[in-house]
Amino acid sequence: MMPSMRWTWWSLLPLTACLSKPDAPIGLTVLAPDEAGAAELVLDGGDAFWTTVGSGGGATGAIRSCELEACVPRSLTSRELSPHSLLVEGDEVLWASGDSVHRVSRTATDAAPFIVGSVGAGLLEIPIAFRHIGARLFFSSSAFFFRCDYEPGGKCASPSTISSLRDLTGPMTLDGNGLLWVANGRQLLGADVLAGQIKHTFPAPGIRSLIANTNHVFALDPDGTDLLDWPIAAPDGTPPTRIAAAVPLHALALDGDHLFVGTADGLLRLPLRPDPGPPEQIATGLPTIEAIAVAAERIYVIAAGRIGWLPKP
């Protein structure tokens, strides 16, 4: 059994440069310089996709996109209520907005979105997250977990709640083994949703920014200053290893070899093989990194309303 808790501390390097608009942060190649409210970032093929969220109650946002090598941002659709849970599959771009899941073509320009399914008819509260697994969409909200049959180009069919998975309410992520992990505010649960079975249960109060690979589940704690790590093979009930930071942590991303963590002033990288190693600061002098997406040779980020990239070290 792993130790109940291990603390790892590191010192962050000093800033190498200060940010002052309109100059770009040192080392960041800016693709889109003025994307106010940019929140989530997804790469697919040669394109970047991101959500924007307006400020204030009831403010609208958009789904935006551009080519990575010649970025001319455009809105695939706009006037969306707090779009989130962005997912790109083939020609489809899907997201949750209000009490519905919407879809638009990746080649669209400010098109009216197609409503894949609505969960506002007393079945669910506003969805927090969703994933497409097999021929179904699976949704978690703050109150319920449910599924519907879904094929690309279609609509949700035969929606139903799943009594054996009723505790899967909250942020979710898929691991490399096909298990769905959901943090419900009290526990971190790993489930085979196609079989309707919960396979793993770990204590996890109030975590956020959940991400997983084949061997580990990572998350940020409620205060945003600790990185939490659960080995998937650990016995049920095992508390996480905690890696404490001196600055707030804001975003997580994985590739095959490393975990990348966005901070209030830069970017950290942790090796993952065979187990997570000590973190290394690979970028400083940046504004707060709110989202990360990793490609073969580049690390793409959202930082203070800029979409840009850094070379992989």
| pLDDT at residue 125 in the model | 54
| pLDDT at residue 261 in the model | 95
| pLDDT at residue 223 in the model | 77
| pLDDT at residue 16 in the model | 27
Q: Are 16 and 26 in contact (CB under 8 A)?
A: yes
The Cβ-side half-sphere exposure at 71, using a 13 Å CA radius, reads: 21
Q: Are 244 and 11 in contact (CB under 8 A)?
A: no
Retrieve residue 234's tokens: 């650990």
Retrieve residue 101's tokens: 């899941």
Q: Which regions of the chain are under pLDDT 70?
A: 1-26, 55-59, 119-127
The neighbouring-strand residues paired with 62 are 52
Q: Are 294 and 260 in contact (CB under 8 A)?
A: yes
Report helix, strand or coil for 165.
Answer: helix
| pLDDT at residue 127 in the model | 63
Residues in the chain: 313
**Cis peptide before 22, with omega less than 30 degrees from 0?**
yes
Closest CA to 279 of 5, 11, 2: 11
H/E segment holding residue 285:
none
| pLDDT at residue 4 in the model | 34
What is the per-residue pLDDT across 228-279, written as a single tens digit (0 to 9) for each?
A: 999 999 999 999 998 877 778 889 999 988 999 998 889 999 999 878 888 8
Alpha-carbon dihedral 189, 191, 193, 194, rounded to 10 degrees: 180
The side-by-side arrangement of strands in the sheet containing 60-67 is 38-44, 47-52, 60-67, 74-81
Q: Please, what's the largest Cα pairwise distance for the chain?
A: 55
d(C-alpha 221, C-alpha 242), whole Å: 9
Count of beta carbons in the 10 Å neighbourhood of residue 32: 18
